[in-house]
Structure 1
Amino acid sequence: MSDPSQILRGKPPYETTRDDFLIPHIAMKHVSPYEWADSNDFERVLMGCLDYEPSRRPPIHEVDGRLRQAAAGIFNLPIHADIEREFMQEDKRNLAGKIPSEQLRAPEGHPLSPYKGTYKGLVCIQQISIPDPRALSDSIRSLKRQIRLWRRLVHPNIETLYGWVLSPGTEPVVSFISAWHAHRDVVGYLHQHPATNRRRMVYNIALGLCYLHSKGIVHADIRPGNIVIGDGGNPRLRGFQFSYDRLDEPLLFDIHHDLNPRFGSPELVNGLIKIPNRASDVWAFGCVTVEILVGEPPYSCFPGVQSVIAKCFTYPSDHRISVNEVRDTFKSWLAAEWEVSYEGMVTDLPIP
């Protein structure tokens, strides 16, 4: 199907690629010929014409009908129908109509935080916006991967997914419906229940992680906020936004942009590996374990270390902290903690 987007935008497909011989290789990676940020309804119709999968490109009479709807300002449903079809390929438990519509509005001021709802009892509702609704866009592929992995996880130390709902509206939003647990953070739970058997808790978290790894799944984001507490103090792993298996890896930008550096393994933080793996899962598990048993977060002996590490990931790069600033900051911490000078050549730093 020829590309009408060139007529609307006055730009050829793959404009930033100067060598035409590279275009087939780029297209094979499911890269769109155009950037679709801030697209209008008319252009959204054209997104379907550029679907990587031929079977999912609409016939021209459907394109004509959708363009007429877009011109009349009534185009909405087809995009939602396309997204629903994509998600149904991974999990047929579409709970549309089973969750009261008023519950699909996140509490004001907390649009991305999990909140309580009802569906055959109390449930947890986690909403995620979909900035790019095209089939096989990065947003859709990431959500499909999360649904595909989470739906098949059945274990007493894994939070249970019940299904999903695509909320109505101009901007598509998917809501994941999972089991509700009153304590959404293991650290908060321990503050309220200091007499908890912490060794048993650590053991149960290890069971959940063992289960994931036995299924060939890397969690990729183990931290206290992704461990909820169920009945009887039983911990359950959640937060599968970056989880992956051999069939599909997460997006590098999302990984490095959103992961908490405090729980990142050295090889991940310093760039020796591009995405988390089983070994970095174990590192993060170790950090969480120490926080549960000792009551202190990783690197708590270095006040403000998280903010310094976070500055290493600042974007754009001209706002990023210099390595000299990092060195000097750590030098002052080392001198305060162990009363040694930089010339003292401290080679063995403490574990987190």
Structure 2
Amino acid sequence: MDLSRSLHEREMTAWLSLDHENVVKPHGWTLATEESKESIGFISAWCEEGDLHSYLRTHRPINRYELIRGISRGLTYLHERDVVHGDLKPCNIVMHNGIPKLWGYGLASIIDDRNTYAQESAAFTTLRYCAPELLNSDSGSRDKKTDVWAFGCTAGEVLYDKHPFQGIPISRLYAKLGVESPFDWDSQRYPDELKELVQGCLTRLPENRPSMESVRNALDSDFTARRRAQRRTRLLADLVEVQHCNLTGKIIIDEWDGRSYGNGFKGVYENDTVCVKTLKLPEDGSVTELARRFSREISVWLSLAHENVVKFHGWTLTGEGPICASLISAWSEGGNLKLHLKSQSINRYELIRGISRGLAYLHERDVVHGDLNPSNVVMHNGIPKLRDFGLFSIFDSSTTPALETSSLPYCAPELYNEKDLWDKQTDVWAFGCFV
């Protein structure tokens, strides 16, 4: 690219001053000359998880609302410092430790406009995120309002897993931009107020679009709390089939005990010591479907009674912060088997027999464990007991790959294919590894 050195240095000075969690930190630049043309290399922090486009395809489950909140914060930060991104899209957002970070910002200020957007075929992928006014080569220029449009397109893609104007060929996009919406908004997956906020960013007239500051403030408001409260109320209403084992308010939390349950608490229920295991419930998708899966699994777990299976008592539901269900089960004093094997002289053959009996009992009742490993077997009076069986069934198997809720060393080979799910045969593989 042809550069003006002074313009470049001025922009780089501004970029080097940027410091925000949702903006890639620039370290510096390199400049080279080849055939009388200057080319530039930008040096920035490395982000392990790749760009957002790839991240959306390879990671499940994802808190999509938090993703767009992070993107809005990063873009607002740039705008507050009069930096226009100019080419916001999922490929220009990278992920690090689950945090979205904007990069590629501000390049429009040092690159000849004729080399970007609609004018060059090499940039056609950007056209889907291009504000309508940018198609007017006489008056169109990148500014904060065109960034807001691109944010709306990016947010829509994050929420709906679809490109803007998906299915429409590039050759027809010119006629669609500013005339038709980039997305189908009929989905009931998200609250109306969130859809309306994103739709507002995609208003045809730039002056009618909100500022990124107002978008960020809306996303940072009590919107999340209201949404969670609404989901909690609906979830409780839909869980009528298992209300008889709803122990909310009946459990006294005693202490955290990592010996027996890695993220469990010791509690008291009707004078008995119990384990309280907290499970974050998915916040995307249908509440009714989540309640159906949850009710089904709870009903099955309550019916189980076997010496080698941890006894399940009931559940509680919390609504402060992320929606979490706490699963209440019998307490096992001996800790998990992983620790037990290290600390005691034991009859390993009897241990294997007990585990096989417990797993066979689950399979006879069509319960797949889904994550059999030494940490998910606890000891009580020398008897091995299976725990944490069937938790994956609460999640939507169409969007949650098996590998995300299983321990990799015990995963059957077929689980590395995201299309394959847990079943009795994958449990058998895990049992073999276990033995």
Query: What TM-score range do you get, normalising by the shorter chain?
Result: 0.5 to 0.7
CA offsets 1:194-223 (integer angstroms, 9 cap, x no match): 2x2211111111111111111122212111
Tell me which of 264, 271, 275 is aligned to 2:411.
264
Query: Quick one: structure 1 residues 273 and 135, their matched pair in 2 at CA, closer, same or farther if it must change by over 3 Å?
Result: closer
- Judge conservation of contact 2:367–2:390 (CA < 8 Å) in 1: no
Q: CA RMSD in A?
A: 4.2
The match for 2:187 is: 33
- Judge conservation of contact 2:354–2:384 (CA < 8 Å) in 1: yes
Structure 1 letter corresponding to 2:426: S
Q: CA deviation at 1:82?
A: 1.7
Structure 1 letter corresponding to 2:412: S
CA offsets 1:45-90 (integer angstroms, 9 cap, x no match): xxxxxxxxxxxxxxxxxxxxxxxxx99x988755433222333324
Identity in percent: 25
Tell me which of 372, 390, 397 is aligned to 1:222.
372
- Judge conservation of contact 1:219–1:281 (CA < 8 Å) in 2: yes
Tell me which of 281, 286, 290 is aligned to 2:432.
286
Query: Quick one: structure 1 residues 237 and 74, their matched pair in 2 at CA, closer, same or farther if it must change by over 3 Å?
Result: closer
Whether 1:88 aligns to 2:226 is no
CA offsets 1:153-178 (integer angstroms, 9 cap, x no match): 22111111111111242432211111
- Whole-angstrom CA distance in 2 between matches of 1:93 and 1:186: 28
Tell me which of 175, 179, 185 is aligned to 2:336.
185
- Look up the SS of the partner of 1:253 in the other structure: coil
The match for 1:209 is: 359
Query: Quick one: structure 1 residues 171 and 266, their matched pair in 2 at CA, closer, same or farther if it must change by over 3 Å?
Result: closer
Whether 1:149 aligns to 2:294 is no
The match for 2:350 is: 200
Query: Quick one: structure 1 residues 18 and 106, their matched pair in 2 at CA, closer, same or farther if it must change by over 3 Å?
Result: farther
Structure 1 letter corresponding to 2:235: I
- Please report the TM-score for the alignment, with normalisation by the length of structure 2: 0.45
CA offsets 1:66-119 (integer angstroms, 9 cap, x no match): xxxx99x9887554332223333245311122123xx299799xx970121111
Whether 1:160 aligns to 2:307 is no
Q: CA deviation at 1:130?
A: 2.8
Tell me which of 123, 129, 133 is aligned to 2:274.
123
Correspondence list, 1:169-184, <5 A: 169-184=320-335
Query: Quick one: structure 1 residues 186 and 74, their matched pair in 2 at CA, closer, same or farther if it must change by over 3 Å?
Result: closer
- Judge conservation of contact 1:201–1:235 (CA < 8 Å) in 2: yes
Correspondence list, 1:315-330, <5 A: none
Structure 1 runs not aligned, ≥5 long: 1-8, 21-31, 45-69, 290-352
- Judge conservation of contact 2:332–2:380 (CA < 8 Å) in 1: yes
- Judge conservation of contact 1:82–1:135 (CA < 8 Å) in 2: no
The match for 2:389 is: 240
- Whole-angstrom CA distance in 1 between matches of 2:316 and 2:365: 26
- Judge conservation of contact 2:239–2:292 (CA < 8 Å) in 1: no
- Whole-angstrom CA distance in 1 between matches of 2:233 and 2:335: 33
The match for 2:105 is: none
- Please report the TM-score for the alignment, with normalisation by the length of structure 1: 0.54
- Whole-angstrom CA distance in 1 between matches of 2:262 and 2:193: 29
Structure 1 letter corresponding to 2:329: S
- Look up the SS of the partner of 1:256 in the other structure: helix
Q: CA deviation at 1:261?
A: 1.9
Structure 1 letter corresponding to 2:427: D
- Look up the SS of the partner of 2:400 in the other structure: helix
Aligned length: 234
- Look up the SS of the partner of 1:92 in the other structure: helix
- Which structure shows the higher strand fraction? 2
